[in-house]
Amino acid sequence: MSDFAIDVQGLCKSFDGRRVVKDVTLQVAKGRIVGFLGPNGSGKTTTMRMLCGLLTPDAGEGRCLGLDFRRQQRALKRQVGYMTQKFGYYEDLSIRQNLDFVARLFQLADRKRRVDEALEQLGLASRQEQLAGSLSGGWKQRLALAACLLHDPQLLLLDEPTAGVDPQARREFWAQLRTLAAAGITVLVATHYMDEAERCDELVFIAYGEVLAQGSQQAVLEAAGITEGNLEDACVSLIARAHDNFAGANA
């Protein structure tokens, strides 16, 4: 049994002749929180959608949770929780109704118990009859995470889950992620917040579809050639280098 929740090599994807993910290789150990960094349009969302079986890669191979991510997509979807950038639940349904709907989609046994547990776990029980459309950003975030956890996934792919959320809600969200990781759940989380990146066990930096740095925060600093500076300086340096390489390749 592999120690990696994600172990993929040579991942590629193009749309309309434009390659948006280029030869991406990732290894993420089980029970770790890994920050996925990079500018908008760098390939983070496309990579996540391939890893959870929503997109078929043009090239590449490997496994997620021991399953071939190209050939065992159906089985993989039942073990992965994917949280999109945009709130994707029904705003005219209550919190409970949304969770019950997701539980039905997964054909979960004992739906009421599963929904009750999710409501308690994410602190949503007192608001369970509130319409999703009336929730603030932080509470919508909790609902989305609760929906991701209903089917007991072992891998969470979170695409900028705290964008536009207030600092207190972000802190509470990250405390929940730490609890999940301590229980053995692996988390790959895309973020633009450097304070969140610093809370991760490891980091992956991607730009123009290519992984430019991977490992500890110190490893990212070294890859950027930063001896005095912080993670934000490293990201700016890596983006500038990637831009120069991209411009040169397309001159």
**Cβ partners under 8 Å of residue 164, min gap 6:** 137
| Type of residue numbered 171 | R
Tokens standing for residue 195:
């304070």
Distance between CA atoms of residues 119 and 146, nearest Å: 7
The burial of 18, by beta-carbon neighbours within 10 Å (0-12 exposed, 13-18 middle, 19 or more buried), is given as exposed
Residue 4 host element (H or E):
strand 4-15
Per residue in 146-185, pLDDT (tens digit) is 999 999 999 999 999 998 888 888 999 999 999 999 999 9
- Domains of the chain (ranges; CATH) run 4-79+154-249 (3.40.50.300), 90-152 (no CATH)
pTM > 0.85: yes or no: yes
Per residue in 10-49, pLDDT (tens digit) is 999 999 989 999 999 999 999 999 999 999 999 999 999 9
Per residue in 199-232, pLDDT (tens digit) is 999 999 999 999 999 999 999 999 999 888 899 9
